[in-house]
């Protein structure tokens, strides 16, 4: 479900309330969402402070460091804490663990402050206590996931380096240049939609924004990337970035399950041009939007704006 804009929105919602706090695993209600041994996960997380909250592709990343005020007893690798020491001083040279959260199709990360009147999450999978050193009451960080396709993994620096290296450039970052995109497209025979969904090619695009970007760039989603004309690469580059940026500004797209860290819905759904709109008129040319299926997943396009250009392949289509 959640793609880059949704993950980015969650990160922005979590960061102010999580940075500098100490985490304790309060309960692992569904061990299947935790990568590896649940006990090891719990021991690794307990007592760590959150140095920063970030994102890589669709993944939410909490940088963890041994805390100077948490319950974790001092060890040979974490110098004894003096009372009142700031957490970040201990973090400076400590090996950083990373808690990487992939939300799958229906995952949510909800930060619930003490006294929050909203009803408790219906499908909690992992709960964390969020402890602050300013005397304020602890909050609750809940990983909620109806379908449990999401994963929480605690990564050491070596595992993180491998994970990071296997992922393509951030589409909103400086490495994702027009030239890099052109080279990547030319080197592959994949259909454009499959290429965009491949996290090793570019990190963070999912099925919604792949359809939207292809529509903006007027390229058929099944077009082989190596066959995309050179003059369409710049529009595609612009389209990928603009649709992701606009979706971030709108706090993401809520179709069903996605919520921000505060439990709110994203508003970009109202601005989708083609995704989920089979039969509706194309916002550009009024031709009916078409749904096609390939690689076992839906794609949406305007048959007039995004012609197949001689591709022999035919696709199962429907008007609804």
Partner DNA sequence: AGTGTATCCTGCAGGC
Partner DNA sequence: TGCCTGCAGGATACAC
User: Judged by CB under 7 A, does residue 3 bind DNA?
Assistant: yes
Among 109, 239, 258, 260, contact with DNA (rule: CB under 7 A)? 258
Q: Which among 64, 43, 40 has a CA at the least distance from the CA of 52?
A: 64
190 or 228: CB nearest DNA: 190
User: Judged by CB under 7 A, does residue 1 bind DNA?
Assistant: yes
Among 78, 242, 262, 298, contact with DNA (rule: CB under 7 A)? 298
Phi, psi of 93 (to 5 degrees): -115, 5
Which residue of the set 166, 286, 297, 309 is catalytic? 297
User: Judged by CB under 7 A, does residue 271 bind DNA?
Assistant: no
Separation CA 29–CA 122 (nearest Å): 12
Which residue stretch of 13-21, 172-180, 183-191, 240-248 sits at the interface with DNA (rule: CB under 7 A)? 183-191
Which residue of the set 2, 87, 121, 124 is catalytic? 2
Question: Does residue 2 contact residue 252 with C-beta atoms inside 8 Å?
Answer: yes
Q: At what angle do helices 4-18 and 233-249 cross, to 10 degrees?
A: 40
Among 21, 49, 52, 254, contact with DNA (rule: CB under 7 A)? 254
User: Judged by CB under 7 A, does residue 249 bind DNA?
Assistant: no
Which residue stretch of 55-63, 212-220, 228-236, 242-250 sits at the interface with DNA (rule: CB under 7 A)? 55-63
Give the x-and-dash track for 101-120 against DNA (CB under 7 A).
-x-xx---------------
Separation CA 198–CA 170 (nearest Å): 12
6 or 8: CB nearest DNA: 6
Count of chain residues binding DNA (CB under 7 A): 40
- Cβ count within 10 A of residue 280: 15
User: Judged by CB under 7 A, does residue 91 bind DNA?
Assistant: no
Give the x-and-dash track for 4-23 against DNA (CB under 7 A).
--x-----------------
Pairing verdict, β 48-56 and 59-66 = antiparallel
User: 79 catalytic, yes or no?
Assistant: no
Q: Which residues are bridge partners to 55 per DSSP?
A: 60
User: Judged by CB under 7 A, does residue 191 bind DNA?
Assistant: yes
Burial category of 202 from C-beta neighbours within 10 Å (exposed 0-12, middle 13-18, buried 19 and up): buried
Concatenating the DSSP letter of every residue in 246-303 gives HHHHTT-B-SSS---TTSPPPBGGGG-SSTT-TTSBPTTT-PBPEEEEETTEEEEE-T
User: 297 catalytic, yes or no?
Assistant: yes
Which residue stretch of 35-43, 81-89, 135-143, 295-303 sits at the interface with DNA (rule: CB under 7 A)? 295-303
5 or 66: CB nearest DNA: 5
Q: Which residues within the stretch 23-42 sit at the binding site for DNA (CB under 7 A)?
A: 32
User: 66 catalytic, yes or no?
Assistant: no
Place of tokens 């390229």: 219
CB of 172 to DNA, least distance (A): 16
Which residue stretch of 87-95, 238-246, 255-263, 280-288 sits at the interface with DNA (rule: CB under 7 A)? 255-263
Q: Is 276 left (phi over 0), alpha (psi -120 to 50) or beta?
A: left
Separation CA 67–CA 61 (nearest Å): 18
Contacting residues for 163 by C-beta, under 8 A, at least 6 apart: 56, 100, 155
Catalytic (active-site) positions: 2-3, 58, 297
Which residues are at the interface with DNA (CB under 7 A)?
1-3, 6, 32, 57-59, 102, 104-105, 122-123, 146-149, 188-191, 194, 197, 199, 206-208, 252-258, 266, 294-298
């Amino acid at each position: 479900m959640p793609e880059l804009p949704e993950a980015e929105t969650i990160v922005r919602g979590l960061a102010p309330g999580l940075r500098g706090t100490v985490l304790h695993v309060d309960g692992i209600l569904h061990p299947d969402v935790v990568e590896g041994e649940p006990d090891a996960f719990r021991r690794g997380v307990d007592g760590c402070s959150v140095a920063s909250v970030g994102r890589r592709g669709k993944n939410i990343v909490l940088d963890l460091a041994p805390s100077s005020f948490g319950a974790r007893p001092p060890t040979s690798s974490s110098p004894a804490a003096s009372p009142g020491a700031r957490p970040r001083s201990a973090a400076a040279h400590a090996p950083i663990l990373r808690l990487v959260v992939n939300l799958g199709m229906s995952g949510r990360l909800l930060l619930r402050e003490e006294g929050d009147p909203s009803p408790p999450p219906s499908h909690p999978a992992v709960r964390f206590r969020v402890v602050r050193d300013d005397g304020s009451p602890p909050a609750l960080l809940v990983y909620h996931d109806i379908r449990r396709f999401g994963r929480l993994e605690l990564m050491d620096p070596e595992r993180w380096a491998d994970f990071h290296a296997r992922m393509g450039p951030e589409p909103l970052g400086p490495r994702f240049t027009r030239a890099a995109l052109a080279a990547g497209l030319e080197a592959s025979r994949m259909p454009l939609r499959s290429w965009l969904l491949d996290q090793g090619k570019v990190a963070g695009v999912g099925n919604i924004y792949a359809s939207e970007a292809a529509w903006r760039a007027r390229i058929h989603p099944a077009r082989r990337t190596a066959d995309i004309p050179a003059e369409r690469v710049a529009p595609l580059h612009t389209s990928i970035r603009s649709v992701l940026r606009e979706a971030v500004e709108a706090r993401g797209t809520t179709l069903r399950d996605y919520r921000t860290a505060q439990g709110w819905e994203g508003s970009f759904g109202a601005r989708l041009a083609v995704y989920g709109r089979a039969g509706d008129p194309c916002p550009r040319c009024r031709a009916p939007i078409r749904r096609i299926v390939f690689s076992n997943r839906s794609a949406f396009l305007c048959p007039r704006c995004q012609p197949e250009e001689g591709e022999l392949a035919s696709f199962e289509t429907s008007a609804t």
